[in-house]
Structure 1
Amino acid sequence: MIGDRRVLAIVPARGGSQRLIAKNARPLAGRPMVAWTLEAARGSALIDHLVVSTDDPAVAATAAGMGWPPPFLRPDHLSGATASVIDAIEHALDQVGGRWDYLVLLQPTSPLRTAADIDGAIRLCHESGAPAVIGVSPLPKPPSFYGRVDTAGRFTSGGVDLERTVVINGAVYVGRPDILMRDRTFQSDGALAWSMPFERGWDVDTPAEFAVCEALFPFQIAESA
């Protein structure tokens, strides 16, 4: 809770994946990947309640083993490759019921985010009055590395405002449920950015990204200790 406002966190963790099979339950640095997101949520001082939305028995078992409430099992139409995360959020909100002032989306494919990132994004949304806050990271290379390729294949450096360009990292989203359900996106007008180092916002969707993430783990754990 922040002030008198209630905070609900949702971890969407379906079992299917086209590029990395069963990635959310895949062992990463000694634990199922989803466990690192659940551990970060456990360290949050502001989350009042957390639910896991999944169709994967292995994910459900991991959450139960960590002492979290029983996950919400998704219906078939929310479990395929074309399933919308907003639809999964709507389903979870319907299942949990009650009044919630802030909804926090924590995707298990960003296992390096910290409890401080979660609480920082919640505080920013609360204190600013913004409709949403989205976790972002800087580009992985300095601006001098970027450019454009024309139709003839010629490279030209620069040409875009890279000093202010960031990428949505998928690590943390905070929104107000009424606005989120109205707009069907966290990117409502007036949404703010929660800036994170590129390494802490690492997103895992492929075997190569998984391998890099596992290599980063010792350094991230040392920095957050």
Structure 2
Amino acid sequence: MKTIAIIPARGGSKRLPGKNILPLGGLPLLAHSILYAKANSDIVDEVYVSTDDNQIKEVALTYGAKVIDRPASISGDLELTISSLQHVLKTIDSDVENVVLLQPTNPLRPVNLLTQCFQKYIEDNLGSLFTVSQNHHKLGKINNGTFVPFNYEIGQRSQDLEPLFFENGLLYISKSKLILEGKIISENAVPYIVNHLFANVDIDTKEDFEYAEYLLNKNKK
């Protein structure tokens, strides 16, 4: 049973140029996900970075990942992640059973998270698993200038809200055959709840990056 990690890291970020190689805690952003995968070598047999960018490719190789050159045709702003995963699987032409997707924009993960998730994935014979976190906000919509509550009633206490969860992006585990069929998360995928500050980090802007830096430094202390 072969398990690989795939880290999609294209160039050309508009809101935060060069974000995948910006230094976070002294390491390029991308390196955090590579090193996390390599630290779980008892689970992950090989680590692949899919990229269309030469600088990202150089960083990936420096930190011990294998690189799959992503074609321009699947490197656009609107291209779905599934395209890069399928391209990696078809390119390596190897007998891969499981894929761990690590997004470089979620660089901070609890140390034992992959071990815990993979154990459940194997023991329960799952097709896919992904991490979620609880949302404690009072949410609503604005219709014609009026706020309409979605998950609560006006005056209701926050602690009495019905639990809602969001896909935090920390990690995904899927059967390779599911990905080749066009899905990362199946209809019956199991959500793995993660209540950790790291789950709030998803880097897209300068402010996101600064928050990740703050959490990283705080965690070191």
TM-score by length of 2: 0.87
What is the CA–CA distance in structure 1 between the aligned matches of 2:207 and 2:64, rounded to whole Å?
31
| 2:129 counterpart of 1:133 | yes
Which residues in structure 2 correspond to 1:7-156 (within 5 Å)?
7-44=3-40, 45-69=42-66, 71-139=67-135, 142=136, 145-147=138-140, 149-154=142-147, 156=149
| 2:221 counterpart of 1:217 | no
The SS at the match of 1:200 is helix
Deviation track 1:110-161 (CA, whole Å, cap 9, x = no partner) reads: 000145222222222211122100111222xx35x44555545246571599
Q: Is the 8 A contact 1:19 1:206 kept in 2?
A: yes
The SS at the match of 2:64 is coil
The range that moved more, 33-42 or 212-221, is 212-221
Q: Is the 8 A contact 1:175 1:186 kept in 2?
A: yes
Structure 2 counterpart of 1:175:
174
What is the CA–CA distance in structure 1 between the aligned matches of 2:126 and 2:163, rounded to whole Å?
20
Change over 3 Å in CA distance of 1:162–1:20 after alignment to 2: farther
Task: Report deviation, 1:174.
Answer: 0.4
Q: Is the 8 A contact 2:140 2:147 kept in 1?
A: no
The SS at the match of 1:46 is coil
Task: Report deviation, 1:82.
Answer: 1.7
Structure 1: tracts of 5 or more residues without a match: none
Change over 3 Å in CA distance of 1:133–1:152 after alignment to 2: same
Look up the equivalent residue of 1:153 and give its one-letter code. T
Structure 1 consecutive aligned stretches of length 4 or more whose deviation exceeds 3 Å? 145-152, 154-157, 159-163
Question: Identity, % of aligned pairs?
Answer: 28
Task: Report deviation, 1:221.
Answer: 3.8
The range that moved more, 190-199 or 166-175, is 190-199
Structure 2 counterpart of 1:196:
194
Task: Report deviation, 1:60.
Answer: 1.4
The range that moved more, 156-165 or 201-210, is 156-165
Task: Report deviation, 1:189.
Answer: 1.6
Task: Report deviation, 1:22.
Answer: 1.3
Change over 3 Å in CA distance of 1:118–1:97 after alignment to 2: same
Q: Is the 8 A contact 2:86 2:179 kept in 1?
A: no
The SS at the match of 1:35 is helix
The range that moved more, 163-172 or 85-94, is 163-172
TM-score by length of 1: 0.86
Look up the equivalent residue of 1:41 and give its one-letter code. A
CA RMSD after TM alignment:
2.2
Task: Give the length in aligned residue pairs.
Answer: 213
